[in-house]
Structure 1
Amino acid sequence: MKIAVLWTELSGYMNACLKKLAAMDGVELFVASSCINKDAPFDELTFAWIENHFQWHGSVDANRLIPLLENFQPELILCANWHYQGYRKTLRHFKGQSIRVFTSDRPWLGTPRQWLGVFISRFYLHPICEAMFVAGERQRVFAKKMGFSQRKILHGLYSCDHEKFASIYFERKKQQIEARSFLFVGRFVSEKGLDTLVNAYQRYRQQAVDPWPLKCYGAGPLQPMLDGIPGIECKGFCQPDDLPKKFMEANCLILPSTFEPWALVVHEATAAGMAVIASDAVGATAHLIQDDYNGYVVETGSAEELAGAMLNYSALPPAARRIIGENSYLMSLQFTPRRWAETVLSIPKRINGKTYEKPTIEH
């Protein structure tokens, strides 16, 4: 099957999913993506294996993209975002030639803008796509409201490089000494809730008998907010290949975002057997965190609740924290690159009954 993936910025998780899809017998890939984001400066060599790769900067030039796709002749087009005019023009061009699928991690919030989107979707969205591939239940609600039937809504849009992070979980199980520290991974921007994070950590540090350090990995304009705070170690941006070993050096992920449609880092942490404390604005919490089972979900913007969760977790006996890590790993198995690839290949059957034959994956 010839599959074109029209994306925004590529990242480590998408690289893992695309590689697994490319390993399917008979699959040929074409990838379009924007250039590397300076706030998430992934090594471009990570994606060098992609032979058919069209990169754009600023905006999508459909006049350049369409001829490339005409030459490739995709049977399926998976498109990351309907907000790019060039991608919309491209999908209109391939009506009747390819199965067109939009992806979405936007949860249903019932805002006026979303209600407007529901109203115009029959004129704006349905003419250029046949199905939606969404992250989880919160996103399925939105797709359903926009008029897509259950058969045309696919789940499991995001998966981390599960094998890579799970190896940390199995390594962690062999260790006798646990890594007693908290971890934050993300861009240093306001929507990540950095003000709440700093406030909560300072509260935690004042109340804890033996406070754990907070290690922060990322890049962005708000880095000075983290500098000079006792106990906070600002480590800078971490390349995807180096991130698993950083997870080995911590015990619990903290993510106090004010807006986070999904947050792939939650899946990475659970696959690595870590506890997770996250705000209820983080979309992945609905699927990957259960209170007192593998972490805590706290109210968005509440430094008091976040500090309390940090205190509760760090005060648990080591044996209880070990069980929480095991529970996290079990939760992570809901999403894998293999499941992602198989879901993509199931789309023709779901849409028109055509089955992709012999979907085997190399290991």
Structure 2
Amino acid sequence: MPDLKQSGGGGACRVAVIWIDWYPYHVARMQGLCSAPTLSGRVSGVELVGGVGVHAGLKFRADLPGDLPVTTLMPEGNWSTANHWKLAWMLWRQLDRLNPEAVLVPGYYTLPGIAAALWARLHGRISILMTESAAYDHARRPGRELLKRLMLRALFDRAVVGGRDHAEYLRQLGFAPESVSRFYDVVDNDYFAAGAAEARRASSAQQHNLRERYFLYVGRLAPEKNVAGLLRAWLQYRAEGGTWDLVLAGDGPERLLLEETLSRSEIGDSVRITGLCTAKQLLPLYAFASAFVLASTREPWGLVVNEAMASGLPVIATDHCGCANDLLRDSGCGEIVPVGNEPALTLALHRMAQHTPATRAAMARAARERIRDFSPWRFGLEVASVVDRIQAHAQRWPQEEAL
């Protein structure tokens, strides 16, 4: 049981939350933490690098609001070139300065992350793992899984995860179910809902160089996203009489391959590749899309699905998207297809396009309703509940020992 007798009180830091580089959804999560009544004014953020993060060559970092209590350890640093030993030391010193009651640690696979968990352990603080790993993400080796089980038991008191698949994987690794909370994978739903609604009100698809009906994908153009497979399934859909276009919003290592495929197709002009988009630039794409598709072969969660659902879009996703069981199954707002099954994906595209306007409107309402629970506010309450419960138990501990 962590020893919390030295912490808390007044304006002391209750929670320090760490991420490598902060994207808009990290900012939203931080705001959710700050909105929790028992954490308000007592949350501090730590960003490891302010340059390019874990996605080499692509910078997704957001400009951080000036009133957000976040310290960047290496403002000009890039994750791939930074000295991780130095980062771990800088993070340790920052935690010494903050002296938080709890540390939210982003995974167990980096040196700074391990350092943060060790700091919490050695200082008698609460160590909370933030993870979205599922059993099907990678091929699992028994020896490595045993080592991971021992590491998790040694480093972490609690965990907060995206959903069912991630909680089940932690259970397989020896985490007690009651030690795992959900609602880690959230975005600013209100931003996307309001932005898409305003785009529909104030403009038209044509004004944004968009067709009347199109499937939308948002994300990196990378192998694990299976955008090439989505394109092949869509080309087959069109060959079989489908009429909807395809918009691919993103950039990445497979862009040239996709463009070469389109250059050989007679309907290549029905596909638009936008390049990397900011959250603001995505709003009209979400606003006028008819459906969203995520065909990934490996996807820890898929936060773009949250964004699409908040914007009122029905969704098609593979069963290897970590969000599928929590957001789509039995939701009435989309469909789950087997990973890597392009004929099944083509059929799903047909089914989606054949829905009546009334059915799609009902799916849009169901999407907004389902995503409502997955909010930054809910994430903040989950973390606050964990910290409050552990602290309350720790404060009772000396009394129980005396009895």
> Relative to 1, partners in 2 of residues 1:44 and 1:160: Cα closer, same or farther, differing over 3 Å?
closer
CA contact (8 A) 1:131 1:351 kept: no
Task: Indicate the SS of the match to 1:344.
Answer: helix
1:151-194 Cα shifts (integer Å, max 9, x gaps): 21111111011111222565589799995211010101000012
In the alignment, structure 1 residue 307 sits paired with structure 2 residue 346: yes
Q: 1:23 deviation in Å?
A: 4.2
1:69-148 → structure 2 map (5 Å cutoff)? 69-95=95-121, 96-109=123-136, 113=140, 115-121=142-148, 123-148=150-175
Q: 1:43 deviation in Å?
A: 5.1
Q: Distance in 1 between matches of 2:118 and 2:323?
A: 32
CA contact (8 A) 1:160 1:336 kept: yes
Task: Indicate the SS of the match to 2:184.
Answer: coil
> Relative to 1, partners in 2 of residues 1:114 and 1:32: Cα closer, same or farther, differing over 3 Å?
farther
Q: 1:299 deviation in Å?
A: 1.5
> Relative to 1, partners in 2 of residues 1:148 and 1:191: Cα closer, same or farther, differing over 3 Å?
same
1:107-156 Cα shifts (integer Å, max 9, x gaps): 12397636435423453222221111111111111111222222211111
User: 2:60 matched to which residue of 1?
Assistant: 42
User: 1:358 matched to which residue of 2?
Assistant: none
CA contact (8 A) 2:30 2:45 kept: no
Indicate which of 298, 323, 342 corresponds to 2:337. Answer: 298
CA contact (8 A) 2:226 2:295 kept: yes
1:202-221 Cα shifts (integer Å, max 9, x gaps): 01111235x11111111101
Q: Distance in 2 between matches of 1:15 and 1:40?
A: 19
CA contact (8 A) 2:245 2:270 kept: yes
In the alignment, structure 1 residue 196 sits paired with structure 2 residue 240: no
> Relative to 1, partners in 2 of residues 1:319 and 1:110: Cα closer, same or farther, differing over 3 Å?
closer
> Relative to 1, partners in 2 of residues 1:111 and 1:240: Cα closer, same or farther, differing over 3 Å?
closer
Query: Looking at CA atoms only, which structure, 1 or 2, has the larger radius of gyration?
Result: 2
Q: Which runs of 5+ in 1 are unaligned?
A: 356-363
Q: Distance in 2 between matches of 1:340 and 1:111?
A: 27
Q: Distance in 1 between matches of 2:16 and 2:70?
A: 12
Q: Distance in 1 between matches of 2:142 and 2:381?
A: 32
1:160-309 → structure 2 map (5 Å cutoff)? 160-168=187-195, 179-208=212-241, 211-227=243-259, 228=263, 229-290=268-329, 293-309=332-348
Paired amino acid for 2:308: A
Give the TM-score of the pair, scaled to structure 1: 0.89
User: 1:359 matched to which residue of 2?
Assistant: none
User: 1:156 matched to which residue of 2?
Assistant: 183
User: 2:382 matched to which residue of 1?
Assistant: 343
Q: Distance in 2 between matches of 1:349 and 1:163?
A: 27
Give the TM-score of the pair, scaled to structure 2: 0.80
> Relative to 1, partners in 2 of residues 1:51 and 1:160: Cα closer, same or farther, differing over 3 Å?
closer
Task: Indicate the SS of the match to 1:325.
Answer: helix
Q: Distance in 2 between matches of 1:239 and 1:204?
A: 29
User: 1:361 matched to which residue of 2?
Assistant: none
User: 2:398 matched to which residue of 1?
Assistant: none
Q: Distance in 1 between matches of 2:137 and 2:58?
A: 30
Q: 1:275 deviation in Å?
A: 0.7
CA contact (8 A) 2:318 2:336 kept: yes
Q: Which runs of 5+ in 2 are unaligned?
A: 1-12, 206-211, 395-403
1:305-328 Cα shifts (integer Å, max 9, x gaps): 111111111122211111111111
CA contact (8 A) 2:331 2:367 kept: no
Q: 1:47 deviation in Å?
A: 5.5
Q: Distance in 2 between matches of 1:54 and 1:338?
A: 27
Q: Distance in 1 between matches of 2:249 and 2:99?
A: 41
> Relative to 1, partners in 2 of residues 1:312 and 1:158: Cα closer, same or farther, differing over 3 Å?
same
> Relative to 1, partners in 2 of residues 1:90 and 1:317: Cα closer, same or farther, differing over 3 Å?
closer
Task: Indicate the SS of the match to 1:107.
Answer: coil
1:28-81 Cα shifts (integer Å, max 9, x gaps): 313133333455423542455444232453325222221121111111100111
Paired amino acid for 1:348: V
Task: Indicate the SS of the match to 2:33.
Answer: helix
CA contact (8 A) 1:256 1:278 kept: yes
Task: Indicate the SS of the match to 2:19.
Answer: strand
Q: Distance in 2 between matches of 1:201 and 1:65?
A: 46
CA contact (8 A) 1:188 1:222 kept: yes
Q: Distance in 1 between matches of 2:180 and 2:190?
A: 26
> Relative to 1, partners in 2 of residues 1:39 and 1:161: Cα closer, same or farther, differing over 3 Å?
farther
